């Protein structure tokens, strides 16, 4: 497998509370094992506080597990130097708040930093790669604009362009369509599908949008209270019974022939 977590446990609690098995926020990841195949598009689903963002940070090497191992292409991520890992794994967070009012092109060029040596400035090749990333995300016309002047959907596509400029093998996204209107949600979803199909990027995204996951993801990992409830093909894992276990919600899950994928309609709280 390309990206693996092997019996990973993680907690935010201080050492004095570790024996109790829960942190100050009542949360820990416990014995999580999952595998991400090269070139796949995987969705992480689960309620707030279940551990989706923590899983992404562990995959990115931002956090290190208390126990267990995270592997990238057979190597322990903990043993890979940060700059080297950043050439392979890129992260798109929920929100990005730059310290200064950078232009869109400057924001995208930041993705080239892992490939630059000490005190080396971006050259023609880096500019070409950034330009290609802008074109791929449909944001080339925004290159000279102030990043802070953009709409939410435009900002999200620019941050994805910055991640693409890293030329990663793996793209990790945390709630990529949160707070976007329907049109931008569809644009971002189409962009991610195109990146996987045309560039072969392995994509893992955490989302609350079950219909986005149903339309976009080949495989799903369902997480609740720091544990993996299920993982597998979307068509096998996404069903009414699993949604009830995951969210305590009754939902109608059916195949939508016009869209060509499953759709989820929440009905109400489970009794």
pLDDT number for residue 15: 52
| pLDDT band of 265, cuts 50, 70, 90 | very high
| CA distance linking residue 16 with residue 19, whole number of Å | 7
How does the average pLDDT of the chain come out, rounded?
89
pLDDT digit string, tens, across residues 41-50? 999 999 998 9
For residues 203-219, one letter each, b for 16 or more C-beta atoms within 10 angstroms of the residue's C-beta and e for the rest, the string is bbbbbebbbbbbbbbeb
* Angle, helices 124-136/152-165, rounded to nearest 10 degrees: 140
What DSSP line would sit under 79-138, residue for residue? GS-HHHHHTTEEEE-S----SS--BHHHHHHGGGGGGS-TTPPP-HHHHHHHHHHHHHTT
| CA distance linking residue 214 with residue 253, whole number of Å | 10
> Which of the pair, 90 or 19, is modelled with greater confidence?
90
pLDDT digit string, tens, across residues 176-194? 888 788 888 888 899 899 9
SS3 43: strand
pLDDT number for residue 27: 53
The answer on pLDDT for 99 being more than 90 is: no
The answer on pLDDT for 40 being more than 60 is: yes
pLDDT number for residue 22: 45
Mean predicted confidence (pLDDT) in 59-83: 93
| CA distance linking residue 237 with residue 172, whole number of Å | 21
Domain ranges of the chain: 89-167
pLDDT digit string, tens, across residues 237-256? 999 999 999 999 999 999 99
Give the count of beta carbons closer than 10 Å to the beta carbon of residue 135. Answer: 13
Considering only CA atoms, which of 184, 188, 186 is closest in space to residue 174? 188
pLDDT digit string, tens, across residues 115-145? 886 667 778 999 999 999 999 999 999 999 9
Mean predicted confidence (pLDDT) in 81-109: 91
Considering only CA atoms, which of 18, 155, 160 is closest in space to residue 10? 18
The answer on pLDDT for 71 being more than 80 is: yes
pLDDT digit string, tens, across residues 8-29? 999 876 655 544 444 444 457 9
């Amino acid at each position: 497998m390309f990206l693996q977590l092997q019996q990973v446990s993680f907690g935010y609690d201080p050492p004095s509370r570790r024996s109790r098995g829960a942190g100050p926020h009542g949360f820990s990841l416990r014995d999580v094992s999952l595998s991400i195949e090269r070139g796949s598009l995987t969705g992480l689903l689960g309620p707030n506080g279940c551990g989706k963002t923590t899983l992404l940070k562990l995959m990115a090497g931002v956090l290190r597990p208390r126990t267990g191992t995270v592997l990238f292409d057979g190597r322990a991520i903990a043993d890979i130097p940060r700059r080297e890992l950043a050439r392979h794994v890129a992260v798109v967070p929920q929100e990005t708040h730059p310290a200064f009012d950078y232009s869109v092109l400057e924001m995208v060029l930041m993705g080239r930093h892992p490939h630059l040596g000490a005190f080396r400035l971006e050259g023609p090749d880096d500019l070409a790669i950034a330009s290609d990333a802008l074109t791929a995300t449909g944001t080339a016309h925004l290159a000279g604009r102030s990043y802070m002047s953009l709409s939410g959907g435009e900002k999200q596509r620019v941050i994805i362009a910055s991640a693409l400029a890293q030329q990663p093998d793996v793209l990790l996204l945390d709630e990529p369509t949160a707070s976007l209107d329907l049109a931008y949600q569809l644009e971002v979803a189409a962009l991610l599908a195109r990146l996987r199909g045309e560039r072969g990027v392995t994509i893992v995204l955490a989302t609350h949008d079950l219909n986005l996951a149903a339309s976009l993801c080949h495989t799903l990992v369902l997480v609740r209270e720091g544990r993996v409830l299920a993982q597998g093909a979307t068509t096998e894992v996404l069903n009414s019974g699993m949604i009830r276990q995951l969210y305590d919600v009754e939902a109608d899950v059916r195949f939508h022939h016009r869209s060509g994928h499953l759709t989820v309609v929440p009905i109400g709280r489970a009794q």
